[in-house]
Amino acid sequence: MPIKENIGYINQIKDEAARRCGRTGEDVLLVAVTKLHDVDEINEAIDCGITDIGENKVQEIMNKYDRVKPVRWHLIGHLQTNKVKYIIDKVSMIHSVESLKLAQEIDKRAAQHNLTMDILIQVNSAEEESKFGITTEETGQMVRDILDSCPNVRIRGLMCIAPFEDNPEDARVYFEQVKALYDEYSRIDHPNLDFKYLSMGMSNDFEVAIEAGSNLIRVGTMIFGARDYSKKQGN
């Protein structure tokens, strides 16, 4: 799999999509999603300029952490509260916060490590049963609850996984809904709220997501090829 060429190609599409809406590719962070890929492949991507990687399982981060070159780690998948303690000092941002209980556990563990953890709130704007995340209506209350009770958590923005559509254009409306919330809540004045990331877009829909306002895309398949799910393990 030509990882270097794939990253170059993604950067080109990313730049073109960003320019269509008055931004540049540099305004959009590419997070390489490395789940189910080997440490060698990950290190190759890092050698090709990848600065941020995303994993969706705590166990996989633990297994790979010591063997991956210096990089920023993002937890992008569903996180169980009892596993926060394992990754609190390893990841730079948690994209998948969808309950106050989880935010409070992150807060508690962050305080124990004397750090402030950056989080995104996951919004399931399409209200798909199969996906985690809160509804658009619940987002304002969640932001306020977290600000009220989690001094060691900093809310950096929102994250959305759109429904998989054969035509990615059909996902645009879900991205736009989350972008509208992002613009609304980014105006809140609070020391623990500093919106910088709107995490939307994967291999099949990142171009549309960027046009809808995303500034962080999470791309796996288009960099590394198809995942081998027989390698799947634990949470």
Side chain identity, residue 146: I
- Residue whose beta carbon is closest to ligand PLP: 220
**Cα–Cα distance for residue pair 65/160, rounded to 1 Å:** 26
If one counts every other C-beta atom within 10 angstroms of the C-beta of residue 47, the result is 11
Toward ligand PLP, which CB reaches closer, 88 or 219?
Answer: 219
| Least distance from ligand PLP to the Cβ atom of residue 115, Å | 23
Q: For binding to ligand PLP (CB under 6 A), which residues are involved?
A: 33, 35, 56, 76-77, 161, 202-204, 218-222
Toward ligand PLP, which CB reaches closer, 36 or 84?
Answer: 36
Toward ligand PLP, which CB reaches closer, 56 or 152?
Answer: 56
| Least distance from ligand PLP to the Cβ atom of residue 205, Å | 9
Toward ligand PLP, which CB reaches closer, 25 or 220?
Answer: 220
Toward ligand PLP, which CB reaches closer, 59 or 192?
Answer: 59
| Least distance from ligand PLP to the Cβ atom of residue 170, Å | 16
| Least distance from ligand PLP to the Cβ atom of residue 22, Å | 25
| Least distance from ligand PLP to the Cβ atom of residue 215, Å | 15
| Least distance from ligand PLP to the Cβ atom of residue 17, Å | 15
Toward ligand PLP, which CB reaches closer, 39 or 188?
Answer: 39
DSSP bridge pairs for 121 = 97, 158
